[in-house]
Amino acid sequence: MLQMIPPKETYLSIRDLWKAFGSFIALKDISLDVKEGEFICFLGPSGCGKTTLLRAIAGLDLQTKGTVTQGGQDVSNLPPSERDFGIVFQSYALFPNLTIEKNIAFGLENAGRSKAEITARVRELLELVGLPDQGRKYPAQLSGGQQQRIALARAIATNPGLLLLDEPLSALDAKVRVHLRHEIKELQRKLGVTTIMVTHDQEEALAMADRIVVMNHGVIEQVGSPTEIYREPANLFVADFIGEMNQIGSSVAKGGRLAVGEKTFACLPHGLADGTPVIAAVRPEDVIPHEAGYLETSGNRNCIDVQLAEMEFLGSFWRCRLTNKRFGGKELIADFSINAVRRLGLEAGCQMEIELPDNRLMAFPVAGGEGAKQ
């Protein structure tokens, strides 16, 4: 993708970073720039190295190779205590024997602040995270969500330049999670603090991040805004990992079209040579339904006839399983609006046609090797 001129200064810059645990390489040649005030999510499957990268940025587990520059200063080999960050762990790591107030005040002490200043700051923070009257309680007396907010308050108490969050929401139940998501995002916007959050929940990443860093097996697969990542996945891994994606075996035909059986489809540009075996990919919600015979009448060559094998009502739309022997025994999944289903009179077993829009149909090389599109 084209790099736009950054609206803000680069705050954190990671260059050629490697991390090895013995002979196992957990991070391979990572380079990444984070702009001031940005909210970044590290997203990827379990074990891909998200936490490792976060801890390298914090200096908690030093990288084996590479540099980290923060706010213009090379911090590559500095211990955590000489870097500028606040951190929230999955376990929150609240001090169990100290009250909430004392937990938050912990980092404010020995920095030349008076007692009154500290008390005032603690009160301000408690209000900021929406727990103004819980200060005298102990961590064990709060709910998980409340503890999480206290951990956040403690981390931002000293106004760090960088806020690091390692799966801060994963210990909470679904409802609290969605709620806190917005609160954290809101808070981050208000404070303008550069934030990196680790998560393996793509919904969380899509909802919160300015930019998402998709990782797999110790490498960065793609960096981009949520819509970029979703709309223009750089490779099959990203396409498959974020959202749902139909994958149909295919090959590149003349003019860059995609051949599925004897049919060819127009698709987004991919730059692959003719004859390359590829995966044709389209998201379920991008499939457009038409009545049988539409191809004849409209001449739209990106249409194909299918049988509607099964349909399932999911509240705001219908999830339909479509078959055609050209799909190689696979079903194509499509999400149709309630309106469309009613208009076209769709029901299980009926014949219909679908359109795979040429600006939504993507092609990826089979082995997952080289990135498909630039």
Ligand X SMILES: Nc1ncnc2c1ncn2[C@@H]1O[C@H](COP(=O)(O)OP(=O)(O)OP(=O)(O)O)[C@@H](O)[C@H]1O
* Cβ pair 203, 229 in contact under 8 A: no
198 phi/psi in degrees, rounded to 5: -95, 135
Structure tokens given for 197: 């959050």
Q: Of residues 3, 4, 5, 46, which one binds ligand X by CB under 6 A? A: 46
3-state class percentages of the chain: helix first, strand second, coil last, to nearest 5:
30, 30, 40
Q: What's 45's DSSP letter? A: S
The C-alpha atoms of residue 200 and residue 15 are separated, in whole angstroms, by 24
Q: Of residues 6, 8, 21, 328, which one binds ligand X by CB under 6 A? A: 21
CA distances from 122 to 89, 131, 196 (A): 20, 11, 24
Chain residues 23-42 in contact with ligand X, contact rule CB under 6 A: 24, 26
Per CB under 8 A, residues contacting another protein are: 16, 18, 20, 25, 28-29, 58-60, 62-66, 76-83, 85-87, 89, 91, 93, 95-98, 106-107, 109-111, 138-141, 154-155, 157-158, 160, 216-217, 219-223, 234-235, 369-371
Size of the site for ligand X (CB under 6 A): 12
* Cβ pair 69, 44 in contact under 8 A: no
Span interacting with Mg ion, options 46-54, 56-64, 80-88, 126-134, rule CB under 5 A: 46-54
Report the partner that residue 181 touches, choosing among Mg ion, another protein, ligand X, none (CB closer than 5 to 8 A by kind): none
Span interacting with ligand X, options 20-28, 96-104, 221-229, 317-325, rule CB under 6 A: 20-28
Q: Of residues 11, 30, 39, 49, which one binds ligand X by CB under 6 A? A: 49
Q: How far is the CB of 238 from ligand X (least distance, A)?
A: 16
| CA-closest candidate to residue 104, choices 149, 154, 155 | 154
Structure tokens given for 7: 């609206």
The C-alpha atoms of residue 199 and residue 181 are separated, in whole angstroms, by 12
Helix (H) or strand (E) holding 130: none
Tell whether residue 52 is a contact of Mg ion (CB under 5 A): no
Number of other CB atoms surrounding residue 43 within 10 Å: 29
State which residue, 154 or 200, has the beta carbon closest to ligand X. 200
Q: How far is the CB of 219 from ligand X (least distance, A)?
A: 12
The C-alpha atoms of residue 296 and residue 299 are separated, in whole angstroms, by 6
State which residue, 88 or 372, has the beta carbon closest to ligand X. 88
Q: Of residues 26, 32, 41, 51, which one binds Mg ion by CB under 5 A? A: 51
Query: Which amino acid type is present at position 77?
Result: N
Q: Of residues 12, 30, 52, 83, which one binds ligand X by CB under 6 A? A: 52
Report the partner that residue 95 touches, choosing among Mg ion, ligand X, another protein, none (CB closer than 5 to 8 A by kind): another protein
Site string for ligand X, 181-220 (x = CB under 6 A): -------------------x--------------------
The C-alpha atoms of residue 21 and residue 11 are separated, in whole angstroms, by 28
Across the strands, what pairs with 70?
Answer: 12, 73
Binding interface with Mg ion (CB under 5 A): 51
Binding interface with ligand X (CB under 6 A): 21, 24, 26, 44, 46-52, 200
